[in-house]
Amino acid sequence: MRIHLVQRARWVLLGVIVLCVVAGIALSWQNARAGNGPGWLRRLAGPPQVLAGRHIGIVAGHSGNDSGTVCIDGLTEASVNRSIADLVVHELTLYGATVDSLLEFDERLLGYQADVFVSIHSDSCQASKEMSGFKVASLEGGSQESGALASCLWKSYAAATGLRPNPNTVTRDMTDYHSFREIAPSTPAAIIETGFLNADRSLLTEHPDRPAHGIVDGIRCFLLPAEGR
């Protein structure tokens, strides 16, 4: 009888130990998914799910409507916008966000609600020294959040691409961008011109991952200020 009890106690103890180990592994895994813990475990767990639960809308400028600027050799603004926007959507998804890939005049835009809305465009193909750099705008007189999103994009995009900010060429088409008045006023929104199709072409067409990363970093800066980006 006594031996039987001792054996039972051993099994219970073993069960408790196994449970503790499993719980420890699950906790460490969860931690690593959130971007914390040792480097090897974080690498194993994949990109940190820092944007889980966030809803983001990304417009590939001119998509579904027209070509935008067209260069003499046939390069179109719409194709450049599309490749950058697709990379942005992909990267945001890797971080756990729910992302809508939107057309320029998408029917979902009316009253669109999200944590962030960014429209991606690029600039004219004129050959001129002045025609280089990027710029960002939010609705003139719009919400504080939209202004904060634009500030984050200015900072993060410059850091990721090395392109110079070109605020002097911000147009009314940007500050009064049509979607700003279509989406819900509570949705923080900005538009970015990622660079000029002539002077900044190699960055935009050969290394679209860098502009894309700059935009994702700007969104992270706005949504996750504690990260200090």
Binding residues for Zn ion (CB under 5 A): 61, 68, 121
- Whose Cβ is closer to Zn ion: residue 45's or residue 63's? 63
- Whose Cβ is closer to Zn ion: residue 36's or residue 171's? 171
| Distance separating alpha carbons of residues 137 and 31, to the nearest angstrom | 36
- Whose Cβ is closer to Zn ion: residue 43's or residue 178's? 178
Chain position whose Cβ is nearest to Zn ion: 121
Q: How far is the CB of 119 from Zn ion (least distance, A)?
A: 9
Strand partners, 56: 99, 116
What does the CA dihedral 77, 186, 55, 58 come to, rounded to 10 degrees?
Answer: 0
| Distance separating alpha carbons of residues 186 and 91, to the nearest angstrom | 24
- Whose Cβ is closer to Zn ion: residue 70's or residue 94's? 70
- Whose Cβ is closer to Zn ion: residue 61's or residue 188's? 61
* ∠ Cα 53 62 68 (to 5°): 145
User: Looking at the chain, which runs of residues are DSSP E strands?
Assistant: 55-60, 98-102, 116-123, 135-137, 189-196
Q: How far is the CB of 135 from Zn ion (least distance, A)?
A: 12
Q: How far is the CB of 210 from Zn ion (least distance, A)?
A: 19
| Distance separating alpha carbons of residues 95 and 74, to the nearest angstrom | 35
Q: How far is the CB of 68 from Zn ion (least distance, A)?
A: 4
User: Looking at 21-152, which runs of residues are DSSP E strands?
Assistant: 55-60, 98-102, 116-123, 135-137
Q: How far is the CB of 187 from Zn ion (least distance, A)?
A: 20
Distances, alpha carbon 32 to alpha carbons 9, 44, 57, 217, in Å:
35, 8, 27, 20
